[in-house]
Structure 1
Amino acid sequence: MFTSLRVVVLGACLLAFTAPGMAQTWTHEGGTLTLNEPPERIVALNWAATETLLLLGITPVGVADKAGYSTWVQEPALPGDVANVGTRVAPSLEAIAELKPDLIVTSTEMAPAARLLERIAPTYVISVYTQDSQPFERAREMLLTLGQMTGREDRAESVLADIEQTLGQQRERLEQAGLTDKPVALLNFLDDRHIRIYTPDGLYQKTLDSLGLSNAWQDAGNFWGFASTGLEAVADTRNSRVVVIDPLVPGLADSLASSPFWTYLPAVRNHEIYRVPATWPFGGVYPVKRLAVALTDALIEGGSDNVR
């Protein structure tokens, strides 16, 4: 049985389930969505949606880019028997229909196919990453809304409480270690001369803010929350710690170790280069927690003069 939850979500829900079989309607980016009962067979067409369902304890019957999820997102783990329905940019409508879903979760990137998807099953459209959006708040909204739709409001609230508790614990660890005194630059290497640096308008900013850390890179990025730039831009992040997020380009450490430019950087000279495992920067709420733990561990363990 469903209970009502007072959460403002894109115009909010219009009705509440009070008994099995009673309809509830939500507004979303694609219009309105009405369900007569909690959906059980759900297809997720992006990884943020896949992650969100798994956090709710729901195994989707089908996902897009299944292999990629296991490589890049990893947590929460996706069971091996989940069907793959094609790519995130061009899923197979036939494969989706064969699964007989009673709910499809997608984003506005799939707008051209929205009407076709709705012919298969009710379709919930929410985009975590759009111009001027706040990714964590949008991901939080998706979690709470899907919690409503599936009768798992308590589970959704518990997930959010756990994330906030973890963030608080990691902040306390950093403060006790005296490691909130310097800004942090979060980046991936594209090659030995180019980087992707994470900006204040991205998902990772929630992690930094919650840990009491400032972002060494203050310029705005794209709506995905990063800027692609040359390695020389790191020189502008003075008096900061540089955190390199996996995966690394093969041979990168050796290339950087012999680079006069790299070895000149203050963070390199101060042994303040840190490396953390891969986290998916374009996901839902969970990467915020995962990065917080990895980042705190890395800072406490200490830095080096290269990306070993």
Structure 2
Amino acid sequence: MRSTRTFLGLAAAATFFVAACGTTEEPTSSTPAAGGAGPITVVDSRGKEVKLPRPAKRVAATEWNGVEHLVSLGVMPVGVSDIKGYGQWVSAAPLDATPKDIGTRGEPSLDTLGSLGPDLVIVTDSVTEGALQQIEAKVPVIVLNGGNAKDPIAGMYANLDTIAKATGTEAKAAQLKSEFEQKLTTGKAEAEKLGAGGQKVAFSDAYVASGSVSIRPYTKGALVSAVFGRLGLETAWPMEGDATYGLAQADVEGLTQLPDVRFWYIANNADGDPYQQQLAGNAIWKNLPFVKSGKVHRFPDSLWMFGGPKSMEQFVDAALAALKG
């Protein structure tokens, strides 16, 4: 069973990258992209200028937020890490049959990546600087911030805009943002009609480690929580999350801090549901006020919590459905 903690981890890729990129051979030339657009310069999350001779067409991505952005912008990536997992978790921007699997997000295969002849690779800031230097010796690399707990939606937009500029799809990015903002506006109006304005929500996921259930609260700084906030809902979690993703840690005893609030969570049949399985007979869980009052709601599978505007639109729909339920 895949631990949900691995969803954010790319740091383990460093050792693999160093081993796989330890060649001094000159990179092969790639086929020029269609359209004849001129050179562009993109400033990534490092503040580094990444120069491209033309908008990138053959793009590979190691993390699923980058993959979703690409697909949403109309650029089907040539390489994607863990295609099977992406299909299980990201339904908002499905892949077609053309991308090649480049391995796990933690350990992508540099041999496979190189065989695809990409003109750009997109990673997150979890990859170490030394590994990036190895990759950049072969192909331009854009580094995205994994998240931004200070302003999660702005951070999502920044990543989308960076990829859009690199791929010459700025108009599509503007459309995606406009559609998402409209979704939030209509969603908030619907939530208010339901009398949900100002209601508190505790959103989380959970995983099993060493036989114990670990709960991961999505606090105020989480992207999903920011979306709920735009609908007029408040987070019920009393603790602060990390500075990147707005995630915290708790156990079932920690849930006793919550009053009788709406308790929403995400799970996936591919990985199991600790709330319905491991905690089903737990005395503490069964006596929590929101469990006893029937306010626990599982969101649909395949909604990516760290994705782009299309995934976040799905969370708007899921939240409204939960408010009606």
**TM bracket (short chain):** 0.7 to 0.9
In the superposition, the TM-score normalised over structure 2's length comes to: 0.79
Contact 1:30 1:114 in 2 (8 A): no
- Aligned mate of 1:22, from 38, 54, 77: 38
Residues 32, 88 of structure 1: alpha-carbon distance in 2 compared, 3 angstrom cutoff: same
Structure 1 pair 183/32, CA: closer, same or farther in 2 (3 Å)?
same
Residue number in structure 2 paired with 1:141:
158
Aligned to 1:39: 56
Aligned to 1:218, which of 234, 238, 246?
238
Cα gap change, 1:167 to 1:255, in 2 (>3 Å): same
Bigger mean CA deviation after superposition, 236-245 or 52-61: 236-245
CA contact (8 A) 2:60 2:122 kept: yes
Looking at structure 2, the residues matched to 250 and 136 of structure 1 have their Cα atoms a distance apart, in angstroms, of 28
Match in the other structure for 2:217: 197
C-alpha distance in structure 2 between counterparts of 1:252 and 1:121, whole Å: 44
Gaps of 5+ in 2: 1-34
Residue 110 (structure 1) shift? 2.1
Does structure 1 conserve the Cα–Cα contact (< 8 Å) formed by 2:203 and 2:225?
Answer: no
Offset of 1:193 from its aligned partner?
4.7
The 2-side partners of 1:38 and 1:257 are apart by: 52
2:180 aligned with 1:160, yes or no?
no
In angstroms, what is the RMSD of aligned CA positions? 2.3
Tell me, in whole angstroms, the C-alpha distance in 1 between the residues paired with 2:213 and 2:167. Answer: 47
The alpha carbon displacement at 1:108 in A equals 2.3
Uncovered stretches (5+) of structure 1, i.e. residues with no partner: 1-18, 302-308
Residue 117 (structure 1) aligned to one of 135, 138, 141: 135
Partners of 2:274 and 2:143 in 1: how far apart? Answer: 41
Q: Deviations over 1:169-202 (max 9, x none)?
A: 2221111011224200002232585422111111
- Identical residues among aligned pairs (%): 28
Please report how far the alpha carbon of residue 24 of structure 1 lies from its aligned counterpart in structure 2 after TM superposition.
Answer: 2.2
**2:256 is matched with which residue?**
235
Q: CA deviation at 1:292?
A: 1.4
> Which runs of structure 1 show a deviation greater than 6 angstroms over 4 or more consecutive aligned residues?
none
Find the residue that maps to 1:109 and give its secondary structure.
coil
1: CA distance, partners of 2:198 / 2:246: 24
Offset at residue 70 of structure 1 (A): 0.8
The aligned counterpart of 1:15 is none
Distance 1:31 1:127 in 2: 13
- Aligned counterpart, 1:96: 113
3-state SS, counterpart of residue 199 of structure 1: coil
Is 2:316 the partner of 1:299? no
- The CA distance in 2 between the partners of 1:73 and 1:79, in whole Å, is 13
Q: Secondary structure at the match of 1:178?
A: coil
Task: Check 1:247–1:295 CA distance in 2 against 1; reply closer, same or farther (3 A cut).
Answer: same
Task: State whether structure 2 residue 307 is matched by structure 1 residue 283.
Answer: yes
Corresponding residue number in structure 1 for 2:226: 206
Distance 1:241 1:104 in 2: 40
Distance across 2 between alignment mates of 1:238 and 1:202: 21
Query: Do the aligned partners of residues 240 and 36 (structure 1) sit closer, same or farther apart at CA in structure 2, a change above 3 Å counting?
Result: same
Tell me which of 227, 231, 246 is aligned to 2:267: 246
User: Whole-Å Cα distance in 1 between the matches of residues 109 and 67 of structure 2?
Assistant: 17
**CA-CA distance at 1:243 after TM superposition:** 0.9
Deviations 1:12-44 (A, max 9, x none): xxxxxxx94532222221722112211111111
One-letter identity of the residue aligned with 1:153 = E
Query: Is the 8 Å Cα contact of residues 43 and 63 (structure 1) preserved in structure 2?
Result: yes
Q: Do the aligned residues in 2 keep the contact of 1:200 with 1:218 (CA within 8 Å)?
A: no
Whole-angstrom distance in 1 between the partners of 2:81 and 2:189: 38
Q: Does 1:270 find its partner at 2:269?
A: no
